[in-house]
């Protein structure tokens, strides 16, 4: 059987591995999502800067929220790290 200290050490090790996974995933996705957002926002068909059509405004807003996805990934990594401390 594992002792209590052994279980705690194993838990910290697994938690740090999961934390590292979230950080690497966030860093890998950030440039790709940034490129997609920049391409879509510059698209003359959408014209997100001067949009009056409600449907296209919703599309522009959802494109803006793609960047929030990376923030959520980093946040989850931070929550896991803070839980370990």
Between CA 36 and CA 9, with CA 81 as vertex, the angle to 5 degrees is 135
Which two structure tokens, joined as six digits, stand for 79?
């929550």
Select, from the ranges 22-26, 35-39, 65-69, 81-85, the one with the highest average predicted confidence (pLDDT).
22-26
Tell me the pLDDT band of 66, cut-offs 50, 70 and 90.
confident
pLDDT tens string 34-61: 888 888 888 888 787 787 888 888 888 8
Q: Global pTM?
A: 0.71
Question: What would the pLDDT profile of 68-79 be if each residue is shown by its tens digit?
Answer: 888 899 999 989
H or E stretch covering 32: helix 4-41
């Amino acid at each position: 059987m594992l002792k209590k200290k052994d279980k705690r050490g194993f838990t910290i090790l697994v938690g740090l591995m999961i934390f590292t996974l979230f950080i690497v995933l966030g860093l890998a996705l950030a440039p790709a999502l940034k490129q997609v957002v920049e391409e879509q926002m510059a698209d003359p068909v959408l014209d997100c800067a001067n949009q009056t059509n409600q449907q296209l405004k919703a599309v522009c807003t959802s494109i803006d929220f793609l960047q929030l996805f990376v923030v959520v990934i980093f946040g989850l990594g931070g929550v896991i790290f803070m839980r370990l401390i």
